[in-house]
Structure 1
Amino acid sequence: MKKFDLVIKNGTVVTASDMFSADLGVKDGKIAAIAENIEADAEEVFDAAGKLVLPGALDVHTHLAMPFGGTISSDSYLSGTRAAACGGVTTVFDYPVQHTGETIRGVIAEKKAVLEKEACVDFASHCCITDLSDGAIIEEMEEAVKEGITSFKCFLVYKKEGWMVSDGTLAKLMLRAKELGAMINVHAENPDLIDMYTEQFLKEGKTSAWYHYMSRPEFVEAEADKRAVHWSKHLDAPLYLVHMADKEGLEACIQAKEEGAPVFVETCPQYLEFTSDVYKREDGRNFVCSPPIKGQESQDALWKAIKNGSIDTVATDHCPFQSYEKDWGRDDFTKIPNGCSGIENLYPYMLDAANSGKISFSRAVELCSTNPAKIFGCDQKGSIAVGKDADIVIYDKDKDFTISVDTMHSDCDHTIWEGKKLHGYPVRTFLRGNVVYADGEFKGTPGMGQFVKRTPKKLR
């Protein structure tokens, strides 16, 4: 009789294209068998009767232990990946920033050294590139790709912080990435318009969180979205637009896709759940992120694109700050550290949308697992299939759950999702066949996460 480390029986397996009843056999961290009935010797047998068996999610947009806004985001690599595991996220991508004089591999190696000690799930990194002054970075990209670092981020904003790249630098990086089978990710907003509006509002004494949104309205993001898409189309170079929040920019992406341009679009749960009205609330500063949450028309457009396949991925942009730090901007929105929590809420939120009939369960898996793995070259992740890593989430469609900071596993002292009711919730998470979360409790060990070496892709 064949021996497995783990057998998951009687569940309904969900892939990006199908749902079917099957047992899973796991051996040495991999899915070794999928069959209608597995009768085998196993060290552990989990009965998933009445439950869904899903591939673990990939949150391909997080900022853990990130210096920003005069402080550091409140989740360390340990607490952030612990929260991820408890929400069914089994791979986390971080965004370390390369500053003047630093190398891609040096920046990644510094973060990797910490992740290897602290990560509770598997991990990868995009590298934010801010400086090409000596020309070495363009050359180094080839070595970085060989080492499995196949995506790089450019900011079209944060000029004063020294992070913004010019259009010329963006074009150089996009063309180089195209040569190497890599991807350029872009944060698209127009800094000059933001600065203009910010200066105006401060002079007028308009300093509440609402004016964070008003200084970065839909069209300020849309202009930069459209500019990035323009370069992708005319350079025929892959582009991944992060945290898409506005209707006009989204429409430009959809049109480019229809014309055959290699454009990929990510959005975040906060843009799907909330509108800019949150900035009028007493606690509006807690929702301050960039780009800001937009109006109802933009939200409606995002949901339409989620349903029809025009949006490729959902990730979180997880970058929380403590309440007292958000309070720095109680009377001046420019002093509010930008970022919100979400890493533990990503999969449960999208699966709740599926459970309510808003989308299918297969679409939720496609958005949160299969597409992120495919786009970013995580060949062993993203689906329930023989030979893939046994990153598996057991989901109870009948379990009611109310999100509260008291039931989350982050180190942040608040959550923008407080009081959100979900119908259906993950009850167990396996990372390469090992239990890391069960029935509300973290069961993993810091340091058990492994670096994901990614494969370059010629994405079309």
Structure 2
Amino acid sequence: MDKVIKNGTIITAFDTYKGDIGIEGGKVVMIAANINSDNAEVIDASGKYVLPGALDVHTHLQMPFGGTISADSYEAGTRAAACGGVTTVFDFALQQKGDGIIQTAEGRNKLCAPKACVDYAFHVAITDLRPEVLDEFKAAVDFGISSFKVFMVYKKEGLMVDDGVMCKVLEKAKEVGAIIAVHAENPDLIDMRTEQFLKEGKTSAWYHYLSRPEFVEAEADIRAIHWAKSLNTPLYLVHLANKQGMEEVKRARDEGYEIYAETCPQYLHFTSDVYKREDGRNFVCSPPMKGQESQDALWQGIKSGDIATIATDHCPFQSYEKDWGKDDFTKIPNGCMGIENMYPYMLSEANKGRLSFNKVVELCSANPAKIYGCAPEKGTIAVGADADIVIYDPNKEFTVSKDNMHSDVDHTIWEGTKFNGYIDMTFSRGNLVFKDGEFLGKPGWGNFIKRKARV
């Protein structure tokens, strides 16, 4: 064996137990009460928790948007991921008009492969559904792309699809063993409310929230779920942030439909009050943070099992770019950071007793791996799985600052947030990539994950 992690408390989505983990060739090859560590590097995890690495299945790295490009390159974003215990990153590849699905993925892979510090995968966002693109869905699944995204919003940006296109992709995805992820907001209501606010001279970040409040997201959630139920197709709702949408997800799941809801740490920690702050523009993302009732509903959704995954929607922009909208919220690039904060935040909440550590692993690791075709290699600690492992110190106190983060962004919305417990080490396929606050990995280490079709 190459390495043995000894004396830790191993935590998966289903189990918590003391044990040693033997690693060889990037894989977990043995789990036992006491492994003979002769000739192996020994990592002592006494008093610490040993967890599977997280999967962040919703990021936008090097993404053109709002007149600029998101601030984290593939290198910076995956470096930050490693330092936050995220060992697999899913990025969105946006189809350009005239391009195919595999062509889109291969184009992004040329950018990502030389730079990725951890393993990675792609969702392809469908924006130009020509007949030949619909016919390519099966080939894309065989290629390893088993998930696609559609936007119900961003009409002016050329990303939005109409209900007819959405229904076509839902049906085709089910046929070929893929799943559709949906960004649900109502663009016409957003445009109408935005126009009215600008006419009235209401231009602060607070009006970003009021231009797309709870009911604007909820209407689109309900519509998306309606189509999925009507067609009896699986559906994955990204970045769910509102109470009514949460209630609709629960209703559909109680009726037996395969509906998955993802939410994000920013919705669980912040409310729409952040948009009243002097730096409120830094929190502008879509959907925006909502009111306290919605936040409470999301936590209840976690408790009930109706929230399936936690991801970040990591799409940060530099503060000077956010400042473009200081006097006009429509000019603020939409997106926040979180790839380095997701796992530590959720584990800290578990350390405070808000949920179990097993539930955190389920939300951040096991469920994303299962839903998106990465299991059993990812998402758990088991013999045969990739040695994507996090060692977590429940007694370490940590305060987030832009100075102790590892991305290329010049600020963080998490500034000053205190975590109870923090990550000591991250291993990506057995390779130590983070230890005691320092990134130890290298660009190009990450592998493209060819994902399996759903059955």
Q: Deviations over 1:374-433 (max 9, x none)?
A: 000002100000000000000000000000000000100000000000010000000000
Match of 2:387 among 387, 390, 396: 390
Q: Deviations over 1:165-196 (max 9, x none)?
A: 01110000000000111000000000000000
TM-superposed deviation, 1:44: 1.1
Q: Distance in 2 between matches of 1:422 and 1:328?
A: 32
TM-superposed deviation, 1:43: 3.2
Match of 1:123 among 120, 123, 126: 120
The percent of aligned pairs where both chains have the same amino acid is 66
Task: Give the root-mean-square deviation of aligned CA atoms.
Answer: 0.6
Other-structure match for 2:150: 154
Other-structure match for 1:56: 53
Other-structure match for 2:178: 182
Other-structure match for 2:19: 22
Question: Does residue 426 of the first structure (1) align with residue 414 of the second (2)?
Answer: no
TM-superposed deviation, 1:232: 0.9
Match of 1:38 among 35, 38, 41: 35
Q: Distance in 2 between matches of 1:437 and 1:366?
A: 22
Task: Give SS of 1:368's match.
Answer: helix
Other-structure match for 2:219: 223
Task: Give SS of 2:114's match.
Answer: helix
Q: Distance in 1 between matches of 2:444 and 2:334?
A: 28
Match of 1:315 among 301, 305, 311: 311
Task: Give SS of 2:275's match.
Answer: helix
Runs of 4+ in 1 over 4 A off after TM superposition: none
Runs of 5+ unmatched residues, structure 1: none
The one-letter amino acid paired with 2:374 is C
Q: Distance in 1 between matches of 2:207 and 2:307?
A: 28
Other-structure match for 1:95: 92
Q: Distance in 1 between matches of 2:89 and 2:39?
A: 29
Contact 1:7 1:42 (C-alpha < 8 Å) held by counterparts? no
Task: Give SS of 2:330's match.
Answer: helix
Q: Deviations over 1:207-258 (max 9, x none)?
A: 0000000000000000000000001111010100000000001110110001
Other-structure match for 2:411: 414
Q: Distance in 2 between matches of 1:162 and 1:24?
A: 49
TM-superposed deviation, 1:100: 1.1
Task: Give SS of 1:393's match.
Answer: strand
Task: Give SS of 2:2's match.
Answer: strand
Q: Distance in 2 between matches of 1:193 and 1:442?
A: 44
Other-structure match for 1:78: 75
Higher mean C-alpha displacement, 81-90 vs 113-122:
113-122
Give 1:279-318 correspondences, 5 Å limit. 279-318=275-314
Q: Distance in 1 between matches of 2:207 and 2:180?
A: 30
Q: Distance in 2 between matches of 1:165 and 1:309?
A: 30
Q: Distance in 1 between matches of 2:113 and 2:21?
A: 29
Other-structure match for 1:205: 201
TM-superposed deviation, 1:41: 2.4
Runs of 5+ unmatched residues, structure 2: none
Q: Distance in 2 between matches of 1:213 and 1:449?
A: 37
Other-structure match for 2:242: 246
Q: Distance in 2 between matches of 1:42 and 1:165?
A: 57
Other-structure match for 2:273: 277
The one-letter amino acid paired with 2:224 is A
Other-structure match for 2:370: 374
The one-letter amino acid paired with 2:373 is G
Q: Distance in 1 between matches of 2:164 and 2:287?
A: 23
Task: Give SS of 2:230's match.
Answer: helix
TM-superposed deviation, 1:309: 1.2
Q: Distance in 2 between matches of 1:414 and 1:399?
A: 23
Question: Does residue 140 of the first structure (1) align with residue 132 of the second (2)?
Answer: no
Question: Does residue 332 of the first structure (1) align with residue 323 of the second (2)?
Answer: no
Give me the TM-score of the superposition, normalised by structure 1.
0.98
Other-structure match for 2:338: 342
Q: Distance in 2 between matches of 1:353 and 1:230?
A: 33
Q: Distance in 1 between matches of 2:254 and 2:164?
A: 26
Contact 1:57 1:365 (C-alpha < 8 Å) held by counterparts? yes
The one-letter amino acid paired with 2:232 is D
The size of the alignment, in residue pairs, is 454
Task: Give SS of 2:136's match.
Answer: helix
Task: Give SS of 1:118's match.
Answer: coil
The one-letter amino acid paired with 1:37 is N
TM-superposed deviation, 1:308: 2.0
Q: Distance in 1 between matches of 2:441 and 2:37?
A: 26
Task: Give SS of 1:137's match.
Answer: helix
Task: Give SS of 1:418's match.
Answer: coil
Contact 1:209 1:285 (C-alpha < 8 Å) held by counterparts? yes
Q: Distance in 2 between matches of 1:329 and 1:382?
A: 39
Other-structure match for 1:114: 111
TM-superposed deviation, 1:306: 1.1
Task: Give SS of 1:343's match.
Answer: coil
